[in-house]
A and B are shown apart, each in its own frame.
Chain A
Amino acid sequence: MGLGRTLLFRSFNMFLVLFSILLITVTLLGPTLDKLLVDAIRNQVIDEVNQGSLKFQNLEERSSYINSQIELRSKTFGLDQDSFTLSKLIHRVVSVMTLDLGNSHYFSTDFGSTSVRDIIFEKVPKTLLLFTTANICVTVIGIFLGTYIAGKEGSWWDKLNSIFAILSNSFPSWWLAMIMILVFAFTLHIFPARATPLSSPSDPNYILDLIYHMTLPLITLIIFSFGTWAYLVRYFLINILNEDFIYAKKTMGISRRKILYSHALRNAGPPIATSVGLGLSGSFGGAIILEAVFDWPGMGKLYYDSIALFDTPIIIGLTFVSTVIFLVTIFITDIAYTLLDPRVKGG
C-alpha cells in the first residue's frame, strides 16, 4: 500500500469509528438528549425574546409566545414525537458533534460560563499539556533505556527492568498516584497533594504555579510507564539484533554502538511506533482516573465529578471529545508508522 492509500484508508476507518460512537451515544442517551435539546431551545428562545424588539402586552402573552416558539422549533427537529425520525437523529448527531449540549447543571468555567462547550474546552488544554509532556518524556526515556538494555541482554539491568515492567502492568496507575501523594505530599511535604493551582488564571504567575502543581502527576505518569516502554523497545531491538544483516554489519567492523543506536533502532522504528499508539490509547483510560486522584483541573477530573453528580450533558460531551482525541492519536501513530516503514516509501 502506498502512503496516500494508507492515509485514505486510515482516515476512512477513523470516521467510521467516530460515527459509530456517535450513533451509540445517540441511541443510548436519546431521551436524555432530547430533553437537553428542548432545554437548549428554551434558553435560546428566551434569549431572543429578551434581546429582540418584540413588545408584549403582559406576561401571559410573552410566555405563550415563547411556548409556541419552542413547540415550533421542537417540531422542526422532530423532538415532539416519541417515534424515531431521521431529522431527529441527524439533529442529535449534529448537536453532539458541535457540543451544542446546553448548560451544565453543576459546573462552570473559571470565567463563569456554564455552557458545556466552554467548560470542556477550558479543560482540554490542561489534559493535553499533562499527557503530551508525560508521553514525550516517557518515549525519550523508554527508547534510550530500552536500547541501552538491549545492548546488555541478560544483565542485571535487563532483569530488573523486566521485573519492573511486569510489576507496573499489574497495578493501576491511579493507585501509584495515591502512593505518590502519600509519600511526597503527606510525608515529605515536597509537592502539594492537590494539583489544582491556587492562583487565579489571570495571575501572571499562573503558568509557573500550574507547572509546579503538574510535577507530581507528571512524575507518576513517567514512573508508571517508562518500564513497559523500555521493555518493548528492548524486545523489538533484540529481535532485530538477531537478523542476518546485523551480523553482516558486525563482520564489516561497524562498531557495536553504532549498530545498536543507528541501524537496529532505525529498523525497530515501525513496531515501536505502533506500540506508542497502543500504549497511548491504553494509558488514556488510566490517565482519566489519575487526573481525578491528583485533582488536576483537566478532562479526567471533570469526568469524575460529572459522574458523581450525574451531569449527563457533560458526560456526553466528554465522551465525544475523548473519542476524538483518542482517534487522532491513533491516526498520528499510524502516519508515523507509515513514514518510518521503509517498505512503504519504496513502494
Chain B
Amino acid sequence: MPTRYWIHGLKGANFLQKRLLLGLLRSRRGKIGLSIIAFLLLLSALAPLVIPIKSYFMWNVPDYWINNPKTSAPYWTNILGPKEFEHISLGRNDAKISSESLEGINVVDNNFKINMKSDSFPDDFMFLYSARYSDVPPVLQIDITRPDNNTFTVYYSSLPMTNKANSSFSDRIFSTNNDVKEALNQYQNLFSFPISGFQPQILLFSDSAKPTVLKGEYQISLKFYLFDNSSRVEDAGIILGGRVFGIMGTDDLRRDLLTGIIWGTPIALFIGLTVSVFSIAIGIIYGVVSGYRGRRTDEAMMRINDIFYALPTLPLLILLMVTFGRSIFLIIGFLMIFSWMGTAKVIRSIALQMRNFQYVEAAKLMGQSDLKVIFKHIIPQLLPLTFASVAISVPGAILAEAGLSFLGLGDPSLPTWGQILRDANTADAASRGLWWWIIPPGLMIALTGLAFFLIGNTLDSIANPLRNKKKKA
C-alpha cells in the first residue's frame, strides 16, 4: 500500500467508500471477483440447508459413511468412458411397501426397483434390515426378479431368537454371505455357462447366455413374515456398491467428497476473513501509535516490528501448534500474530505525516488525549483505505491454514480443504491416480484466493492515484 492513501482519506471516508464500491462494480476484474465470492457465500449459506448438519460433525467418523462406496469416481465420468455401475443406496422411503394377511401371518413386502444401465457389474451388494419382535422371530425372504422374468430367491431364513420381549434386531446381509452363495447355486441350470467361479453380484445381474450385464429393470423384494401382532419391520434397505458415486466421488474412507468440499467453504471464508480483518486492525493500531507517538516509542516499536518481520512463520507455527494443541481458534490466533507487520509499517509512515496535519494539531491543542486523537481522528480516516489490504491478505491466511492442515496440525474435527488434501496425500492418491480426490479441494482454494486477489487488486488500483497516472502515461 503506497503512502499516498491519505490524500483520499482527507476527502472523507464516505466518499472513498462509495468510489471503491462503484469502481469494483464497474471493472471486469472486480465483477469476476465479486461473483466468485457471491457463489462461495451462497454455497456456505446453503450448506446447512442442503446437506445434513450431522455430516459436518461426523466427517471423521467412518461409521457414518458406511453406506457409501469406497474410493469411487464421480458419476459423470460415465459420459466419457465405459458406463461404470453407479452406486445405489435405497432406504425404506424408496421402497413400495405392501402388507397382506395370510392365515394370521402378516406379510410385509418392501419392494425396490432398480434400473440397470451400466456396462459393469456392481462391486458388491448388501441388504439391511431392522425388525422388532418378541418370542416368535420373523422370517425374511429376499427375492430378485430380473428383466428376463426369472426370480431368484437369494435369502430365506428366520431372524435369531430373542429372550427379551419386544426387542429390536438389525443386521446386514452381505454379498459374501454363504447362504446367498448357496441359494444362487440352485439356479445354475438357468445359465448356459458354468457359474461356480462367479461372485453373487455378477450372477445376479448377468445375462444367462454369457457373463455380461443383463440390462433392464430389476425388482428386489425384502419380504418379512411376521407371526404375531407385536412384530414390526422397522427398516429395510439395499445397497449396490458402485464404482462411481455423486458429483465428486468418495475417498478411501467412503466419505462423500462433495460434502467435504461444501463444508470447507464456510470454514475457509471464516479463517481467511477473520485473520485478515484482525491482523490488519492490529497493524493499523500498531502503526498509528508508533507513527503518532514518534521518537523513542516509534524506534522501539519499529525494532519489534523488524523482529516479527524476520520470524520464520511456518517453523514457529509448527512449534506453537505442537505445544498448544490443534484448535481452529488457536490457528486463527497464531496466524494473526504473524501477519500484521506489513500493514503496521505502511500505516506508520502515513501516521508520521498525519500527526502534523492541522486538524490533528488542533485536536491536540484542545487538550484531547493521545488515545482519543488516535481513535477518533486518525484511524477513521485510514479505515476505508485498508479494504484493499484486507482482501489481498485473505488468500494468505487460507493457504496458511491449508498448509498447517496438510502437515497434520489442523483442527482434526473440521472438514477443511487442507485436511482433505492431507488425507489424499496420506493415501497416496496422486500416485494411484485418484484425481477426483486431489483436484477439487485445491481448485476451491485457488478459486477463493483468486477472487480475493482480484477484488484487492481492483480496490488498490482505484485507491492508488499513483498507479492510475502511470497507466495513462
Q: Taking beta carbons and an 8 Å cutoff, which residues of A are in contact with B?
A: 13-14, 16-17, 20-21, 24-25, 28-29, 166-167, 169-172, 174-175, 178-179, 181-182, 185-187, 193-194, 238-239, 242, 281, 284-286, 288-289, 292-293, 303-304, 307-308, 310, 312, 315-316, 318-319, 322-323, 326-327, 330
CB of B94 to closest CB in A, whole Å: 36
Determine the residue in chain B with the shortest Cβ distance to A239.
Answer: B470
CB of A237 to closest CB in B, whole Å: 13
Q: Are A182 and B435 in contact (CB under 8 A)?
A: yes
B190 on the A face (CB < 8 A): no
Q: Are B453 and A169 in contact (CB under 8 A)?
A: yes
15 new A-B contacts, CB < 8 A, other than A24-B319, A175-B446, A310-B322, are A13-B310, A29-B323, A169-B395, A170-B446, A178-B421, A178-B438, A181-B431, A182-B430, A186-B430, A186-B432, A242-B470, A242-B473, A303-B407, A323-B312, A327-B310
Residues of A within 8 A of B445 (CB): 170-172, 175
Q: Are B438 and A318 in contact (CB under 8 A)?
A: no
Q: Are B315 and A175 in contact (CB under 8 A)?
A: no
Q: Are A315 and B319 in contact (CB under 8 A)?
A: yes
Q: Bound state CA distance, A16 and B428, in angstroms?
A: 42
Q: Bound state CA distance, A100 and B187, in angstroms?
A: 73
Closest 6 A-B residue pairs measured CB to CB?
A: A170-B449, A285-B314, A193-B431, A175-B442, A171-B446, A181-B430
A13-B306, A171-B445, A174-B406 are known contacts. Are A307 and B438 too (CB-CB below 8 A)? Answer: no
Q: Are B407 and A185 in contact (CB under 8 A)?
A: no
Contact of B408 among A14, A166, A286, A304 (CB under 8 A): A304
Q: Bound state CA distance, A322 and B311, in angstroms?
A: 11
Q: Are B442 and A28 in contact (CB under 8 A)?
A: no
Determine the residue in chain B with the shortest Cβ distance to A185.
Answer: B431
Residues of A within 8 A of B448 (CB): 170
Determine the residue in chain A with the shortest Cβ distance to B434.
Answer: A182
Q: Are B421 and A175 in contact (CB under 8 A)?
A: yes
Q: Bound state CA distance, A307 and B408, in angstroms?
A: 7
15 contacts across the A-B interface (CB closer than 8 A): A13-B310, A17-B310, A21-B312, A21-B316, A166-B453, A169-B395, A169-B449, A175-B442, A178-B429, A179-B439, A181-B430, A193-B428, A285-B313, A289-B403, A303-B407
Q: Are B421 and A307 in contact (CB under 8 A)?
A: no
Q: Are A186 and B431 in contact (CB under 8 A)?
A: yes
Determine the residue in chain A with the shortest Cβ distance to B449.
Answer: A170
Q: Are A172 and B442 in contact (CB under 8 A)?
A: yes
CB of B311 to closest CB in A, whole Å: 7
Chain B 97-139 per-residue mask, 1 if CB under 8 angstroms from chain A, else 0: 0000000000000000000000000000000000000000000
Q: Are A178 and B425 in contact (CB under 8 A)?
A: yes
A182-B430, A284-B312 are known contacts. Are A166 and B450 too (CB-CB below 8 A)? Answer: yes
Q: Bound state CA distance, A312 and B322, in angstroms?
A: 9
Chain B 237-251 per-residue mask, 1 if CB under 8 angstroms from chain A, else 0: 000000000000000
Q: Bound state CA distance, A33 and B421, in angstroms?
A: 33
B399 on the A face (CB < 8 A): yes
Q: Bound state CA distance, A330 and B313, in angstroms?
A: 14
CB of A171 to closest CB in B, whole Å: 4
B424 on the A face (CB < 8 A): yes
Q: How extensive is the interface on chain B, given as a class?
A: 35 or more
Q: Are A17 and B322 in contact (CB under 8 A)?
A: no
A303-B407, A308-B408 are known contacts. Are A179 and B310 too (CB-CB below 8 A)? Answer: no
Q: Are A303 and B449 in contact (CB under 8 A)?
A: no
Give the tally of cross-chain contacts (CB within 8 A): 141
Determine the residue in chain B with the shortest Cβ distance to A238.
Answer: B470
* Residues 403-456 (chain B) with a chain A CB within 8 angstroms: 403, 406-409, 421, 424-425, 428-433, 435, 438-439, 441-443, 445-450, 453-454
Residues of A within 8 A of B313 (CB): 285
Q: Are B425 and A166 in contact (CB under 8 A)?
A: no
Contact of A171 among B318, B406, B449 (CB under 8 A): B449
Residues of B within 8 A of A167 (CB): 446, 450
Q: Are B409 and A307 in contact (CB under 8 A)?
A: yes
B320 on the A face (CB < 8 A): yes
Q: Bound state CA distance, A181 and B313, in angstroms?
A: 27
B307 on the A face (CB < 8 A): yes
CB of B161 to closest CB in A, whole Å: 48
B402 on the A face (CB < 8 A): yes
Q: Are B421 and A288 in contact (CB under 8 A)?
A: no
Residues of B within 8 A of A181 (CB): 430-431
Chain B 317-340 per-residue mask, 1 if CB under 8 angstroms from chain A, else 0: 011101100000000000000000
Q: Are A14 and B406 in contact (CB under 8 A)?
A: no
Contact of A304 among B306, B407, B441, B450 (CB under 8 A): B407
Q: Are A284 and B307 in contact (CB under 8 A)?
A: no
Residues of B within 8 A of A172 (CB): 399, 402-403, 406, 442, 445
Q: Bound state CA distance, A14 and B323, in angstroms?
A: 25
Q: Are A292 and B407 in contact (CB under 8 A)?
A: yes
Q: Bound state CA distance, A143 and B50, in angstroms?
A: 50
CB of B80 to closest CB in A, whole Å: 15
Determine the residue in chain B with the shortest Cβ distance to A163.
Answer: B450
Residues of A within 8 A of B406 (CB): 172, 174, 289, 292
Contact of B322 among A169, A187, A304, A307 (CB under 8 A): A307
Residues of B within 8 A of A307 (CB): 318, 322, 407-409
Residues of A within 8 A of B457 (CB): 166
Q: Are A303 and B318 in contact (CB under 8 A)?
A: yes
Determine the residue in chain A with the shortest Cβ distance to B451.
Answer: A170
Determine the residue in chain B with the shortest Cβ distance to A16.
Answer: B307
Q: Bound state CA distance, A178 and B432, in angstroms?
A: 11
Determine the residue in chain A with the shortest Cβ distance to B421.
Answer: A175
Q: Are A13 and B473 in contact (CB under 8 A)?
A: no
Tell which of B409, B442, B470 has the most Cβ of chain A within 10 Å. Answer: B442
Q: Bound state CA distance, A308 and B408, in angstroms?
A: 7
Residues of A within 8 A of B449 (CB): 169-171
CB of B459 to closest CB in A, whole Å: 15
CB of B99 to closest CB in A, whole Å: 53
Determine the residue in chain A with the shortest Cβ distance to B425.
Answer: A293
CB of A143 to closest CB in B, whole Å: 22
Determine the residue in chain B with the shortest Cβ distance to A288.
Answer: B314
Tell which of B310, B400, B408 has the most Cβ of chain A within 10 Å. Answer: B310
Q: Are B318 and A319 in contact (CB under 8 A)?
A: yes
Q: Bound state CA distance, A210 and B289, in angstroms?
A: 53
Q: Are B311 and A21 in contact (CB under 8 A)?
A: yes
Q: Bound state CA distance, A21 and B313, in angstroms?
A: 11
Q: Bound state CA distance, A316 and B322, in angstroms?
A: 10
